[in-house]
Structure 1
Amino acid sequence: MLLTLAGAVAAAPAWERQVGMKSMADSARIIGDMFSGRRAYSQTNFRAAAESIRAHAGTRLVDDFGSGSQADSKADAEMISTSAVEFSRLARDLEIYASALSSAADRNPSELGAETRMGGALFGSPFGRKPDAARDAASMPAEHTYHLMLQTCTSCHAKFRSP
């Protein structure tokens, strides 16, 4: 499903989007801390963090950035508008990765099992095919999904934030 900005409503206020972005960053940090062992694993907290990201991603993210620029925003409204398909794809990928992490929590009630870890395995190469969130997220270890989710955030910020 492709999300588009065509006919989008006015963008959410910049402060509101910033609150959502901070919530996603905090949630990603919680998940990362559980993978790294800096925080004890909790199925409830892991799922809640993934669901918080999922709730701010996809259509909601596209709608939040709507049409029009705002003086107090770091978003590049013109770039978002001219690259709407890419912005929508990144928003949808973020939602897919977060959903896959939520499902991983459902499958791991007491610990992040070995199947959730990358375990030193290499996933892809510079010459291999690029991961496709819709096709690959459910079949890869959750830790790899987490890293691809972070990469999605970084890609979006690199292209769609004003310098």
Structure 2
Amino acid sequence: MNMKIWITAIAIGTTGVAALAHSGATGVVLERMQGMSAMAKTLKTLSPMMRGQVPYDADVVRSEADAMIGHAGEQMTRLFPEGSGGGVSKALPSVWDDDEKFAALAEDLRTAAEGLKLSAGNGLAAAQGNGSGSMIGSATDGMMGGSTDGMMGGGSAPAMGGGMMGSEQPMTPEMFAEMPVDRAFAMVAQTCSACHQKFRREDK
């Protein structure tokens, strides 16, 4: 998919969707919805920057990456205790049936967000003469298109779960140290999308 089309899909406003999704949610379900909304806000904030529509600001990238780091990994998985599905929740039973995979993707998201922060000083791929976000262009449509519980939208992407872009090599933040920031951003979004594909119930 063309990078601009995909980033446009990410940049779709989510405030109203999030408010609707949170209606009737309480307790840990509401808490995780709020966390997912915060991460959706990070994607929405950074999308225009990754497209070159607004001036690039490494400090904003670092701040938004910190926000995502704070909701990923164990901070995410602890908000999905056994028995907290159903009702207004969009989490599929697979969250608990395949909890090891879910936890691995949550950790991948944390790693990718930490990597995004590390890559903030590198600027965009185009600024490095590497083209414009070819890796971003491989990400899928529909991100953030649904409610923010149990993930940030629909769509699909190659599953990551402990490997970087389908490899067997575990991801580490250091892998992002010299990566253009828009490509690191794509890794964040693709990790989200891989999780959505397996663990989030689609809206009908």
Q: How does the TM-score come out when normalised to structure 1?
A: 0.74
The total of aligned residue pairs comes to: 144
- Cα distance between partner residues in 2 of 1:133 and 1:73: 30
Label 1:72 to 1:121 Cα distance change in 2 as closer, same or farther (>3 A).
Answer: closer
Q: Is residue 2:128 matched to residue 1:92?
A: no
- Cα distance between partner residues in 1 of 2:59 and 2:101: 32
Counterparts of 1:52-71 in structure 2, within 5 Å, are 52-70=67-85, 71=87
Label 1:140 to 1:40 Cα distance change in 2 as closer, same or farther (>3 A).
Answer: closer
- Cα distance between partner residues in 2 of 1:56 and 1:156: 14
1:75 corresponds to which of 84, 91, 110: 91
Counterparts of 1:11-160 in structure 2, within 5 Å, are 13-70=28-85, 71-76=87-92, 78-105=93-120, 107-108=121-122, 112=124, 114-115=127-128, 119=131, 130-131=166-167, 132-134=170-172, 136-160=175-199
The answer on whether the counterparts of 1:28 and 1:50 sit within 8 Å (CA) in structure 2 is no
The answer on whether the counterparts of 1:62 and 1:91 sit within 8 Å (CA) in structure 2 is yes
State the shift of 1:139 in Å: 5.0
Between 31-40 and 130-139, the greater mean CA deviation after superposition = 130-139
For structure 2, the 5+ residue unaligned runs are 1-26, 136-157, 159-164
- Cα distance between partner residues in 1 of 2:177 and 2:44: 21
Which SS does the other structure have where 1:53 is aligned? helix
- Cα distance between partner residues in 2 of 1:91 and 1:20: 13
For structure 1, the 5+ residue unaligned runs are 1-11
For residue 40 of structure 1, what is the amino acid of its counterpart? P
- Cα distance between partner residues in 1 of 2:133 and 2:51: 17
- Cα distance between partner residues in 1 of 2:37 and 2:181: 22
State the shift of 1:148 in Å: 1.7
The answer on whether the counterparts of 1:47 and 1:102 sit within 8 Å (CA) in structure 2 is yes
CA RMSD between the two structures: 2.8
- Cα distance between partner residues in 1 of 2:60 and 2:132: 26
Q: How does the TM-score come out when normalised to structure 2?
A: 0.61
Structure with the higher helix share, 1 or 2: 1
The answer on whether the counterparts of 2:124 and 2:182 sit within 8 Å (CA) in structure 1 is no
Label 1:121 to 1:43 Cα distance change in 2 as closer, same or farther (>3 A).
Answer: closer
Percent of residue pairs identical: 31
